[in-house]
Amino acid sequence: MLAVALLQASAIYAIIAGLSFVVNPPERKENPTTFTVPPPSPSPTEVQRERKTPPADAPQSRGPAVQPTVAPSPLPSASNSTSGAPADGPGTATAGPSPLPTSEPSRAALAVKGPAPRGRPGEWVTRNDYPSQDLREGNEGLVRFRLGVGADGRVTSCTITASSGFPGLDAAACARLTQRARFNPATDEAGARVAGAYYGMLRWKITN
């Protein structure tokens, strides 16, 4: 009986001891790994667009600009059907009224008027009219001319009174002036329209 009691006591102790040594599994500590994702590279289209777009403050390259300037004479002359005498000579670059003579002029002298330009003389020759060869060679110059003006106000002739030094510039000046210049015709002492002459100058200039 004693032996049975000891066996039962040992069994009970073993069960209790076995239950008391149940160990929980260790907790797993997670160590997350951080990945740094680089920004996406620009597409080839965006790269080309950035290369093609110039900076806002980049200077724009421009070619030479031409500036032909027509200056009328302040002293146009008139001639009637029997007299074709021109004025004394080419005028200056600044147009203005003729000064009154010191002596009292005759009534006929006050009545005579020379041809007066119609429209805008500065637009008779434009930058597009610059001769291409002279533009390439950088030729510039001042052309003085005399225009014969008919009683209808149209140019009847063009004479170079002082050359620019370049035949191409002289020829282009006469060609454009003959084609585009229009005038109110000259009048004689009776107020009738007559042929007259107009003097002026044209400057061919290339500006950067």
Q: What is d(CA 189, CA 110) in angstroms, rounded to the nearest whole number?
A: 8
Q: What is d(CA 116, CA 198) in angstroms, rounded to the nearest whole number?
A: 8
pLDDT mean by block of 10 residues, the chain; 208 residues: 54 50 49 45 51 47 54 46 34 32 46 88 93 96 97 97 97 97 95 96 92
Give the pLDDT confidence score for residue 208 in this predicted structure: 73
Domain 65-95+108-207: top CATH class: alpha beta
CB 185 within 8 A of CB 81: no
CB 150 within 8 A of CB 156: yes
Give the pLDDT confidence score for residue 33 in this predicted structure: 40
DSSP string over 161-174: EE--S-HHHHHHHH
Quick: pLDDT tens for 103-155: 444 544 444 899 999 999 999 999 999 999 999 999 999 999 999 999 999 99
Span between the terminal Cα atoms of the chain, in Å: 131
| Of 155, 156, 153, 169, residue with least CA distance to 201 | 169
The burial of 48, by beta-carbon neighbours within 10 Å (0-12 exposed, 13-18 middle, 19 or more buried), is given as: exposed
Backbone torsions φ then ψ of 115, nearest 5 degrees: -65, 140
SS3 153: coil
